[in-house]
């Protein structure tokens, strides 16, 4: 019994503590000052975008939105460890990674508003649109990564889900297939403690989510998900291993979402205490990293203000572009169904084209 529990112990990794002090110098990633500043810029940008998206949702100017605030370090840190041609299979909350991997901001806005053009990922951008079906992306990741392996490409596939997602059969199938085929994949679980209202203690009797890697026979790590340096470091290592042909990794990032589950009517006061929220606010990923950079003389309030201003401008420009985009039509939807439309659908296309004129 105890040997089993011993085997299930996974390392917990932190580089910066909550005050921004380096607690694990061996884990300190080799990043230049510019790269360190870039990480902060991205987190500030995403924080501003998140706040704006929440406002826009309330005004009815956005459609579906699952707030990212609080999880910036886990999202930005892991994406920053990737190369351009690595492939991301995201969940619905993972918009920040997609934006930094090349999904244009205005297309995300269209996607949120339910416009099909938003989903047309540009050539050369290696991402899928956010997956709604929890777990589906995990099994597909094994396949994407196997394709890279079969073609002998030095690329990896990375996927994301939440703590709730680890309960799906697809989660286990995905990490097990990836292990069985030893494919170049990285599986990230952002454990933000709640699946909508359900606390992680109700999802599983397992002490950590990372230990689920043990049963799949792959390495598993639990990371302070609000520590961007730890997230970067562990993801980079996992990506390097995968690229070198050493198989997949499971990473559990401990974090917290500040906002509601989505902007479609969720009320966190029904399931979370104010104390818990305050506790996690103290661990805000931006606060800790800002402190770290300021101590090194790499960040100033003026710089932050400038980044915020740039973010606002970029978001406004993207909104304008999205607003100006022509509306969808039912015939164009029908056209998107097949390479060659069957006769039956051609007839329906005509019928609905006629209706739109009527």
Partner 1 sequence: MAQMTMVQAVNNALDVELGRDKSVLVFGEDVGQNGGVFRATDGLQAKYGKDRVFDTPLAESGIIGLANGLAMQGFRPVAEIQFFGFVFEAMDEIAGQAARMRFRTNGRYTCPLVVRSPFGGGNKTPEMHADSLEGLFVQTPGLRVVIPSNPYDAKGLLISAIRDNDPVIFLEHMKLYRSLRAEVPEEAYTVPLDKANVVREGRDLTVIAYGAMVHTALKAAEELAKQRGVQAEVIDLRSVNPIDIETIVTSVKKTHRAVVVQEAQRSAGAAAEIIAQINEHAIYHLEGPVLRVTPPDTVYPFAQIEDEWIPDSAQVLRGFDKVLSL
Rounded Cα–Cα distance for residues 100 and 81 (Å): 11
Verify whether residue 151 is a known catalytic residue.
Answer: no
Please identify which of the residues 93, 261, 288, 290 carries the catalytic annotation.
Answer: 261
Q: Does 197 bind partner 1 (CB under 8 A)?
A: yes
Here's the x/- map for partner 1, 321-340, by CB under 8 A: it reads as ------xxxx--xx-xx---
Here's the x/- map for ligand TPP, 164-183, by CB under 6 A: it reads as xx------------------
Verify whether residue 115 is a known catalytic residue.
Answer: no
Q: Among the candidate windows 157-165, 216-224, 324-332, 345-353, which touches ligand TPP by CB under 6 A?
A: 157-165
Q: Does 337 bind ligand TPP (CB under 6 A)?
A: no
Residues 6+ apart with CB under 8 A from 271: 194, 196, 197, 198, 199
State whether the Cα torsion 99-284-35-190 is positive or negative. negative
Size of the site for ligand TPP (CB under 6 A): 15
Least Cα distance to 250 among 192, 163, 169 occurs for: 163
Please identify which of the residues 93, 257, 272, 290 carries the catalytic annotation.
Answer: 257
Classify each residue of 185-205 as buried b or exposed e, where b means 16 or more C-beta atoms within 10 Å of its C-beta. Answer: bbbbbbbbbbbeeeebeebee
Select from ligand TPP, partner 1, none the partner in contact with residue 252, using the beta carbon and a kind-dependent cut-off of 5 to 8 Å.
none
Q: Does 251 bind ligand TPP (CB under 6 A)?
A: no
Distances (CA, A) of 150 to 153, 246, 299: 8, 14, 44
Contact 153, 84 (CB under 8 A): no
* Positions in 92-121 near partner 1 (CB under 8 A): 92, 111, 113-116, 118-119
3-class SS shares of the chain: helix, strand, coil, % to 5: 50, 10, 35
Q: Does 82 bind ligand TPP (CB under 6 A)?
A: no
Verify whether residue 257 is a known catalytic residue.
Answer: yes
Residue 160 has φ and ψ, to the nearest 5°, of -130, 145
**How many Cβ atoms are within 10 Å of 154's Cβ, its own excluded?**
13
Select from partner 1, ligand TPP, none the partner in contact with residue 232, using the beta carbon and a kind-dependent cut-off of 5 to 8 Å.
none
Select from 5, 28, 150, 202 the one that contacts partner 1 (CB under 8 A): 202
Q: Does 257 bind partner 1 (CB under 8 A)?
A: no
| Count of positions (residues) in the chain | 358
Select from 41, 42, 93, 349 the one that contacts ligand TPP (CB under 6 A): 93
Distances (CA, A) of 246 to 160, 175, 229, 237, 302: 20, 14, 23, 11, 44
The site for partner 1 (CB under 8 A) is made up of 63-64, 92, 111, 113-116, 118-119, 132-135, 164-165, 167-170, 195-198, 202-204, 264-266, 270-271, 327-330, 333-334, 336-337, 344-345, 348-349, 351-352, 355-356, 358
Mind telling me the catalytic residues? 257, 261, 271
Site for ligand TPP, rule CB under 6 A: 93, 132-134, 161-165, 190, 192, 194-196, 261
């Amino acid at each position: 019994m105890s040997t089993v529990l011993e085997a299930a112990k996974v390392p917990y990794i932190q580089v910066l503590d909550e005050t921004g002090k380096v607690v694990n110098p061996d884990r300190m990633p080799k990043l230049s000052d510019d790269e360190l500043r870039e990480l902060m810029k991205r987190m500030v940008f995403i924080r501003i975008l998140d706040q704006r998206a929440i406002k826009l949702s309330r005004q009815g100017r956005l459609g579906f939105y699952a707030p990212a605030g609080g999880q910036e370090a886990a999202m930005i840190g892991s994406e920053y460890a990737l190369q351009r041609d690595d492939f991301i299979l995201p969940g619905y909350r993972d918009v920040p990674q997609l934006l930094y991997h090349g999904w244009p901001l205005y297309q995300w806005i269209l996607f949120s508003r339910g416009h099909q053009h938003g989903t047309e990922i540009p050539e050369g951008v290696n991402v899928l649109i956010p997956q709604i079906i929890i777990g589906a992306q995990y099994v597909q990741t094994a396949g994407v990564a196997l394709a890279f392996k079969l073609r002998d490409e030095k690329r990896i596939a990375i996927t994301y889900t939440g703590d709730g997602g680890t309960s799906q059969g697809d989660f286990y199938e995905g990490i097990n297939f990836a292990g069985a085929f030893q494919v170049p994949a990285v599986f990230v679980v952002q454990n933000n403690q709640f699946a909508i209202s359900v606390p992680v203690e109700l999802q599983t009797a397992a002490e950590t989510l990372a230990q689920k890697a043990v049963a799949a026979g792959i390495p598993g790590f639990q990371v302070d998900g609000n520590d961007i340096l730890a997230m970067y470091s562990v993801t980079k290592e996992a990506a390097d291993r995968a690229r070198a042909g050493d198989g997949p990794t499971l990473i559990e990032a401990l974090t917290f979402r500040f906002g509601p589950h989505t902007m479609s009517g969720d009320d966190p006061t029904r399931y979370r205490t104010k104390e818990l929220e305050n506790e996690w606010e103290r661990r805000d990923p931006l606060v800790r990293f800002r402190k770290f950079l300021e101590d090194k003389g790499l960040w100033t309030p003026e710089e932050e203000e400038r980044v915020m201003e740039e973010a606002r401008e970029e978001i406004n420009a993207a909104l304008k572009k999205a607003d100006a985009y022509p509306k969808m039509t039912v015939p164009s939807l029908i056209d998107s169904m097949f390479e060659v439309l069957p006769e039956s659908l051609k007839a329906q296309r005509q019928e609905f084209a006629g209706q739109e004129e009527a």
